[in-house]
């Protein structure tokens, strides 16, 4: 799933290529991807791209005051083409959910792999009307996201710090991958309770959050859309690296699995050397 750094890079990529172009077509390959009814997607046609913005993990194309907003979710992606195929996309079994064309023959497809369809697009007069945007917490890369702001957020959440970092209504843009990375850099257990962290731990977590995201944005910036997924994977220290060596201490990277996701961490760096309980392995250990 693309998170804040990849979405930010996609925003910059689209900004560079589309600002000033005019939308000449919006086609749906999947009816269910569009979550709004009015204005219709055809309202975008004939409008110039005035701006491209990010809200958390949402992308927002401002087309003459009508906004095409989309969220790539778990398996969605954006595929750019300098010369779009002429064939009109029709609803069907295609992995292409939405196609947008511009007046210089370029355009992009939003694609979604797998069977769990969660890619979502919205056509709205105001991005604030998208429920997932209206409920977003503060963006961790803005100047006013200070240590004091973060400390107040942590103090008011008696929940596991991993869950707090991932909750879009608390902090916008961080998902499963970067929360693993941030916690590894901060040397904190994913299961530590946010409200019980001491001042030094909160500062470590804040510094790790900002540095990890800033570093990932810098690494992703300027990369074409098709390279971002591999670049994200290559930059990970522990996320997705179960069984590999921790780059800090040489211990093995461990995993805790859940029904539909997993987290990775280093026991030596983050949990005082004690492996966390995992529902899959613990039944064999008993």
Q: What is the pattern of x (binds Zn ion, CB under 5 A) and - over residues 108-147? A: ----------------------------------------
Q: Does 269 bind Zn ion (CB under 5 A)?
A: yes
257 membership: H or E segment, kind and range: strand 253-257
Interaction pattern, residues 211-250, with Zn ion; x per rule: CB under 5 A: -----------------------------------x-xx-
Identify the residue among 63, 170, 266, 271 touching Zn ion (CB under 5 A): 266
CB of 263 to Zn ion, least distance (A): 15
Q: State which of residues 47, 242, 268, 278 lies at the interface with Zn ion (CB under 5 A).
A: 268
Minimal distance in Å, beta carbon 186 to Zn ion?
A: 12
Q: Which residues contact 27 (CB under 8 A, 6 or more apart)?
A: 88, 89, 90, 98, 99, 101
Helix axis angle, 199-220 to 4-18, nearest 10°: 30
Helix (H) or strand (E) holding 27: strand 23-28
Instruction: Name the residue nearer to Zn ion (CB basis): 106 or 268.
Output: 268
Q: Side by side, which strands form the sheet with 96-102?
A: 23-28, 96-102, 107-112, 76-81
Question: In terms of CB distance, is 97 or 246 closer to Zn ion?
Answer: 246
Q: Which of 166/187 has CB closer to Zn ion?
A: 187
Cα distances (angstroms) measured from residue 84 to each of 110, 213, 245? 13, 33, 43
Contact 102, 29 (CB under 8 A): no
Q: Which is nearer to Zn ion, 94 or 268 (CB)?
A: 268
- Looking at the Cβ atoms of 201 and 251, the one nearer to Zn ion is 251
In this structure, are residues 120 and 43 in contact, taking their beta carbons and an 8 Å threshold? no
The reply to whether 183 sits near Zn ion by the rule CB under 5 A is: no
Judged by CB, which is closer to Zn ion: 131, or 243?
243
| Sole binder of Zn ion in the list 19, 201, 251, 278 (CB under 5 A) | 251
Separation of alpha carbons 42 and 57, rounded Å: 24
Interface with Zn ion: number of residues (CB under 5 A): 7
What is the dihedral angle through the alpha carbons of 14, 17, 23, 27, rounded to the nearest 10 degrees? -60
End-to-end CA distance of the chain: 35
Q: Which residues bind Zn ion (CB under 5 A)?
A: 246, 248-249, 251, 266, 268-269
């Amino acid at each position: 799933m693309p998170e804040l750094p990849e979405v930010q890079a996609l925003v910059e990529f689209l900004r560079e290529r589309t600002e000033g172009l005019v939308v000449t077509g919006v086609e749906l390959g999947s009816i269910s991807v569009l979550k709004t009814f009015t204005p219709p997607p055809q309202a975008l046609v004939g409008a110039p791209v005035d701006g491209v913005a990010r809200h958390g993990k949402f992308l927002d194309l401002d087309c003459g005051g009508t906004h095409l907003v989309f969220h790539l979710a778990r398996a969605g992606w954006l595929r750019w083409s300098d010369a779009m195929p002429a064939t009109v996309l029709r609803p069907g079994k295609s992995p292409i959910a939405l196609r947008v064309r511009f007046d210089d023959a370029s355009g992009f497809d939003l694609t979604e792999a797998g069977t769990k369809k969660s890619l979502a697009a919205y056509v709205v007069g105001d991005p604030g009307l998208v429920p997932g945007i209206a409920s977003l917490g503060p963006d961790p890369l803005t100047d006013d996201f200070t240590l004091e702001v973060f400390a107040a957020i942590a103090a008011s959440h008696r929940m596991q710090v991993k869950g707090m970092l991932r909750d879009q209504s608390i902090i916008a843009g961080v998902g499963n991958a970067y929360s693993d990375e941030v916690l590894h850099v901060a040397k904190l257990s994913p299961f530590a309770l946010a409200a019980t962290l001491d001042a030094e731990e909160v500062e470590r977590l804040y510094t790790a959050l900002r540095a990890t995201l800033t570093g990932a944005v810098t690494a992703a910036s300027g990369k074409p859309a098709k390279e971002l997924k591999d670049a994200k994977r290559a930059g990970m220290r522990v996320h997705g690296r179960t069984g590999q060596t921790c780059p800090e201490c040489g211990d093995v990277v461990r995993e805790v699995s859940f029904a539909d996701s997993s987290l990775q961490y280093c026991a030596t760096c983050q949990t005082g050397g004690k492996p966390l309980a995992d529902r899959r392995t613990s039944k064999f250990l008993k």
